[in-house]
Amino acid sequence: MDDSTMTENSDEMEYQEDEEEDEDDNDYYYNYDNYADSGGDHHNDGNDQNSGGADFETLQGVECLNVEQAKNLLNEHVDLLSSKLHISPSLAKLFLHLNEWNVNAIVQAYLKHTNAFLVENRVKPPSTSASAMDSLPLPTPSSSTSSPHSSSSKTSVCSVCTLSLPLANDIDMRRKLHISPSLAKLFLHLNEWNVNAIVQAYSKHTNAFLVENRVKPPSTSASAIDTLPIPTPSSSTSSPHSSSSKTSNYIGLLSCGHPFCKNCWAKHFEVQINQGITLDISCMASQCNILASETLILTLLRPALHDKYESFSFRDFVSTHPHLRFCPGPNCAMVMKARESKPKRATCTSCHTSFCFQCGAKCSQRNLAQLEAEIENLSWKIERAETTDRGDLENQMDIAEKRRITLLKDFHLTAPGKEGRGSAELSLYLNSISCSGDWKQHGSEYYECSRYKENPNIGRESAHAQAREALKKYLHYYERWENHAKSLKLESAMLEKIRTRIHSKVMTSSGTWIDWQYLIDASTLLARCRYTLQYTYPYAYYMEPSLSHSRKELFEYQQAQLEAEIENLSWKIERAETTDRGDLENQMDIAEKRRITLLKDFHLTAPGKEGKGSAELSLVS
Amino acid sequence: MSALPRRIIKETQRLMQEPVPGISAVPDESNARYFHVIVTGPEDSPFEGGLFKLELFLPEDYPMSAPKVRFITKIYHPNIDRLGRICLDILKDKWSPALQIRTVLLSIQALLSAPNPDDPLANDVAELWKVNEAEAIRNAKEWTRKYAMDN
């Protein structure tokens, strides 16, 4: 929506998109926006973090990346980790994906407890102490047949397709020594293809054998070289996966050693990928959760599906990366990057969608539906509470409250930012109107509908009456908050309408384009006022009862005034048919003054006093 | 229709040659992927003495995806709904290509021995099973007698 976010973060931004966007009539709109912002700043006492339109805090340091840039960014992580730990990139990817892309934590965990880390990340089977690991060599070959499927592998039949698995000479040796095929080839070549001699020599003096065959330098502990076998599994920093997956055709492709043939693996991967599973593809054996590495999958998968795999896994990678979010805008392929994940606004430079960075598109409708259901339950129970048996009712109250808190957490009501999706979802559910009465009947002097009148005798009422009261109070504020959120959303549709109206007016030569700009100006102001008003309701809800009576009254009075002026303004904007702007501008001025007064009185003077309330309000301004 | 995979042929042969006790699975004459299954109610369960008919279908990408199994005989069981659908992990996300028709049917038989009302498919049945197990078992026996004992 607004250009200012872009300019604010200009130092970190790739400008290639901007050139495409700033075209045609958009130009005017953006220019206008900048103008409005500078105007708005005066009103906001120099609080220049805010920009026009709906004003909530903008997340600093947001970058907008296209798919290629995002992929490069992910690859940087992968390269860093794989070079730090000397593991294959595909394994590094897997670790990053499973550990929220926290390179340092992975390096630490890996170096401290390599074995435990590998088991935890489902790269290695837990119990067998790595004896079945494919590319990791074993101290003694005798324990090497402990793979759960060893019996079937002896008969060498793939248990999926029932075809026999050919056991070539080198595969035989590989199974005995659990080394990578390339290494096996090397050993065979250097030792006249005498499998038995190799196995004996290897298992007796692994180190000496490796040195002799020029696989390992004589002195060092060999900790840093990829695909190098190391006698003790715990000290191994070599990749458990990478080497085995490149060329081997049959049996134990994964560290668990479950034997299946290549075609079955390929088919398995295909079916899983078609179901949208990429990084979570595990071994085919029943109850074996060892993960298949990317290298293995891409080696076996038919090329037609490679793109699909790449795009699915990219999607999964982004979703697990704490600092990346897909832009929730329709048909927008951009990825947003921020230094920190906070419930603040991020704006896509490509489609101009603003959204809360922390939740991205993740806010669940389910929470809302559940809250809805519990509220229904609660009100039903309150209505029918005939006895003093309060256990059931209190239980229900508890459930409803928990659901409410979950919802608030998800929607970050304390830190608004999701004008798009959140409110859209909300408005799907509750379609009530803040006050269904006629505006004219309210008069302009004292508008009371925004205020919740508490029953002064509440303390003496019974438990269920109190519960009813609490629910009523909550619903009162919630509905109003929600309605304004909904109106705010409609506002953007309205802006569109206004622009077409202006266009048609200009075409029929009633006024010039410049003459009509005040309308856009007005509707931006309207959106800003509405936004402020919307968050006065959570503020009012959380307002402490201990707050002095007169303060509260003042707040409610100002809130009511603002509400009334906003409605007037809205009415006038909708019906503006001439270029005679005096009346409207007057109204705009009034509304903005009301807004500033409210914020001045309750935002700037009382921060920190009210916990939640002030946090919300501080985001309003 | 494409040729029957070797795996299915092998499994069918083995099912015919070494049948699992208490389970019979016969492929349909016109479709070798469709099996008529009869499972006998396990001993010491409320389903003892009953013969339960099921249908089993091997989808196109079997064994990469799980077979589709459904009870045809009505059964009073918390994990089997009134349409005969079965709530069993290995038929859903825990499916592994290494599992077979045989293992699936054995699991279903085991499910009859050990109903799990905490993960229900038929909510009313599961509720009763938790609240009043004796009555639930009575119902199950009654249903077994009524639907699974006549020919």
* B3 lies within 8 A of chain A by CB: no
Chain A positions touching B103 (Cβ under 8 A) are 286
Name the more confident of B27 and A216.
B27
Task: Locate the domains of chain B by residue range.
Answer: 6-149
- Residue range A225-242, pLDDT digits in tens: 333 333 333 333 333 333
Tell me the shortest Cα–Cα distance from A252 to chain B, in angstroms.
14
Mutation for B interface: A163, A268, A280, A283, most B CBs within 10 A: A268
Instruction: Kindly state the tokens that stand for A195.
Output: 């499998």
CB-closest option in B61, B64, B99 to A286: B99
Distance CA A239, CA A326 (A): 32
* B64 lies within 8 A of chain A by CB: yes
Q: What average pLDDT does the segment A560-579 reach?
A: 79
* Residue B87 a catalytic site member: yes
Name the more confident of A548 and A131.
A548
> Rounded mean pLDDT of chain A?
65
Name the more confident of A462 and A573.
A573
CB-closest option in B64, B90, B94 to A267: B64
Distance CA A480, CA A485 (A): 8
Residue A17 predicted with pLDDT over 50 = no
At B143 the pLDDT is 92
Chain B positions touching A161 (Cβ under 8 A) are 5-7
At A238 the pLDDT is 35
Chain A positions touching B65 (Cβ under 8 A) are 271
* A163 lies within 8 A of chain B by CB: yes
Residue A214 predicted with pLDDT over 60 = yes
Least confident of A29-33, A256-260, A430-434: A430-434
State how far the alpha carbon of A237 is from the alpha carbons of A70, A175, A213, A226, A605, in Å: 28, 21, 20, 8, 59
At A490 the pLDDT is 79
Most confident of A140-144, A487-491, A496-500, B124-128: B124-128
Name the more confident of A123 and B147.
B147
Residue A601 DSSP code: I
262-291 in A: which are within 8 Å (CB) of B? 264, 267-268, 270-271, 284-288
Chain B positions touching A268 (Cβ under 8 A) are 64, 97
Q: What average pLDDT does the segment A142-160 reach?
A: 48
The answer to whether the Cβ–Cβ distance between A268 and B64 falls below 8 Å is yes
At A373 the pLDDT is 66
Nearest CA in chain A to B64: A268
Name the more confident of A167 and A382.
A382
Residue B85 predicted with pLDDT over 80 = yes
- Residue range A172-187, pLDDT digits in tens: 555 556 666 667 766 7
The Cβ of residue A406 has, within 10 Å, a number of other Cβ atoms equal to 16
Residue A586 predicted with pLDDT over 70 = yes
Name the more confident of A572 and A366.
A572
Chain A positions touching B10 (Cβ under 8 A) are 162
At A384 the pLDDT is 62
Chain B positions touching A271 (Cβ under 8 A) are 61, 64-65
Chain B positions touching A160 (Cβ under 8 A) are 7, 63, 97-98
Phi, psi of B53 (to 5 degrees): -85, 140
Q: Which long-range contacts (CB under 8 A, 24 or more apart) does A467-471 make?
A: A467/A378, A467/A382, A467/A393, A467/A394, A467/A397, A468/A379, A468/A382, A470/A397, A471/A375, A471/A378, A471/A379, A471/A382, A471/A400
Residue B107 predicted with pLDDT over 90 = yes
- Residue range A106-117, pLDDT digits in tens: 888 888 888 888
At B70 the pLDDT is 94
CB-closest option in B63, B90, B94 to A160: B63
* A412 lies within 8 A of chain B by CB: no
| Burial tier of A568 (Cβ tally within 10 Å: 0-12, 13-18, 19+) | middle
Most confident of A52-66, A117-131, A206-220, B57-71: B57-71
CATH architecture for residues B6-149: Roll (3.10)
- Residue range A415-430, pLDDT digits in tens: 333 333 333 333 333 3
Residue A29 predicted with pLDDT over 80 = no
Residue B15 predicted with pLDDT over 80 = yes
Mutation for A interface: B2, B64, B106, most A CBs within 10 A: B64
At A329 the pLDDT is 73
Phi, psi of B96 (to 5 degrees): -135, 140
Name the more confident of A203 and B32.
B32
Residue A162 predicted with pLDDT over 80 = no
Least confident of A467-476, A577-586, A609-618: A609-618
At A188 the pLDDT is 66
Mutation for B interface: A147, A149, A162, most B CBs within 10 A: A162
At A242 the pLDDT is 35
CB-closest option in B90, B94, B98 to A159: B98
Confidence band for A7, pLDDT divided at 50, 70 and 90:
very low
At A295 the pLDDT is 81
Distance CA A262, CA A268 (A): 10
* B130 lies within 8 A of chain A by CB: no
- Residue range B116-140, pLDDT digits in tens: 888 888 888 998 998 899 999 999 9
At A368 the pLDDT is 54
What is the separation of C-alpha A351 from the centre of its chain, rounded to a whole number of angstroms? 18
Distant-in-sequence, close-in-space partners of A231: CB < 8 Å, separation ≥ 6: A137, A139, A206, A207
Q: What average pLDDT does the segment A205-217 reach?
A: 70
* B7 lies within 8 A of chain A by CB: yes
Instruction: Kindly state the tokens that stand for A342.
Output: 């906070």
Phi, psi of B34 (to 5 degrees): -110, 125
Least confident of A82-91, B11-20, B85-94: A82-91
Task: Locate the domains of chain A by residue range.
Answer: 76-121, 167-213, 432-453+462-603
Q: B57 by DSSP, 3-state: which?
A: strand
| Residues paired with residue B51 on neighbouring β-strands, in sequence order | B40
CB-closest option in B7, B94, B97 to A268: B97
Tell me the shortest Cα–Cα distance from A235 to chain B, in angstroms.
33
Burial of A374-396, coded b for 16+ CB within 10 Å and e otherwise, reads bbeebbebbeebeeeeeeebeeb
At A309 the pLDDT is 87
State the fold for domain A432-453+462-603.
Four Helix Bundle (Hemerythrin (Met), subunit A) (1.20.120)
Least confident of A439-448, B72-81, B106-115: A439-448
Q: What average pLDDT does the segment A151-161 reach?
A: 59
User: Rg for chain A (alpha carbons), in Å?
Assistant: 33
- Residue range A320-362, pLDDT digits in tens: 787 888 887 777 778 888 777 766 667 777 777 777 676 664 4
- Residue range A275-312, pLDDT digits in tens: 888 888 888 888 787 888 788 888 888 888 888 888 88
The answer to whether the Cβ–Cβ distance between A161 and B94 falls below 8 Å is no
Distance CA A153, CA A345 (A): 57
At B40 the pLDDT is 93
Q: What average pLDDT does the segment A521-535 reach?
A: 80
Residue A456 predicted with pLDDT over 60 = no
Nearest CA in chain A to B103: A286
The answer to whether the Cβ–Cβ distance between A264 and B96 falls below 8 Å is no
Residue A519 predicted with pLDDT over 50 = yes
Nearest CA in chain A to B60: A271
Mutation for A interface: B2, B4, B7, most A CBs within 10 A: B7
* B82 lies within 8 A of chain A by CB: no
Nearest CA in chain A to B104: A286
Of residues B87, B104, B112, B125, which has the active-site annotation?
Answer: B87
CB-closest option in B63, B64, B98 to A285: B98
Report field, pTM of the whole predicted structure over 0.90? no
Mutation for A interface: B58, B90, B96, most A CBs within 10 A: B96
Most confident of A40-49, A350-359, A438-447: A350-359
At B92 the pLDDT is 87
The answer to whether the Cβ–Cβ distance between A161 and B61 falls below 8 Å is no
Share of chain A above pLDDT 90, in %: 0
Confidence band for A75, pLDDT divided at 50, 70 and 90:
confident
Name the more confident of A489 and A16.
A489
